[in-house]
Amino acid sequence: MTGSSPGPGGRPGSDLFNHRLWWSEIRGAVGYLTRLRPARLASDAAPSAPVTAARAFPLVGAALGLTGGLAYGLGALLGFPPLLAALLGVGAMILITGARPEEFMSRLAEAFGRSAPLEKKLDSLRANGVSALGVIFLVLIIGAKVGAVADLGNVALVIAAMAGAGAASRAAVPLIVRYVDPASTDFAASGRPGLEDVVVAGGLALLVALIALGGAGLIAVFIAGGVGFLLALLAKRQIGGHTEQVLGGVQVVADVAFLLVIAALK
């Protein structure tokens, strides 16, 4: 990578060791993946983050998962049973993200779960509110995540697994933006992330999982990424490509898949 050549989406080409650029990308990823709005983040920076801040996604995802794991640990320290501590951990992550991925996942369930013309499916993704079908699907998938975390039991393992899941699921987002076309022009991001940025994001997710969980973490990363990509392919079949809601859904299903794999392999 070079620091002077223009990169994808119109941002300057990135330098792997440019710490100022890294901090800028981390701020962009935080603005996109959470309800937090870091200082000096331009108002239009967060929506384009899958393109301009792709490398930082697994780092911010790992921090989100670490926060959820620490919340679980706090619950365990207070004597909560594993299921209640897991609810506390998952709830902490939902609070920080503003439940946007879960809301988007519920809209996907509504749009993909009913037979309707393409435009009606796209309209349901744009609409506010959640249908009964979306709520039911959301309860099931959050229940699966809480159950997987509770089944891990050990606090250190929960922290490691939630950090790894956060990194892997968020690293999947720029991968989808690069390789799956947007469903329509109003859902299009500002270009595509560069191949090198996607590779760095994937490498960071693998590194976090390896350090935290060893070989099981690597297996979980590949399975989680595969599940996320399958959802993106389903979106391409159903509505012609990805949308912001699809990217949120990818985060949710990849996160749950990672935790289920670790629970199965523990």
Measured CA to CA, the distance from residue 17 to residue 149 in angstroms comes to 35
DSSP per residue, 40-70: T--TTTTTTHHHHSGGGHHHHHHHHHHHHHH
pLDDT of 251 strictly over 50: yes
Q: Between 166 and 243, name the one with better pLDDT.
A: 166
Measured CA to CA, the distance from residue 191 to residue 21 in angstroms comes to 19
Segment 62-76 shows an average pLDDT of 97
Residue 5: pLDDT band with limits 50, 70, 90: very low
pLDDT of 43 reads 46
Q: Between 221 and 192, name the one with better pLDDT.
A: 221
pTM of the model: 0.88
pLDDT of 187 reads 53
Segment 202-213 shows an average pLDDT of 97
The two tokens of residue 239 are 């509505």
Segment 157-186 shows an average pLDDT of 91
Measured CA to CA, the distance from residue 53 to residue 11 in angstroms comes to 10
Segment 192-209 shows an average pLDDT of 95
% residues pLDDT > 70 (the chain): 87
3 state SS of 233: helix
The two tokens of residue 266 are 């523990």
pLDDT of 7 reads 47
Mean pLDDT is lowest, of 8-12, 110-114, 216-220, for 8-12
> CA of 147: how far to CAs of 73, 104, 134, 234, in Å?
16, 21, 20, 26
pLDDT of 4 strictly over 60: no
Query: What value does the mean pLDDT of the chain take?
Result: 86
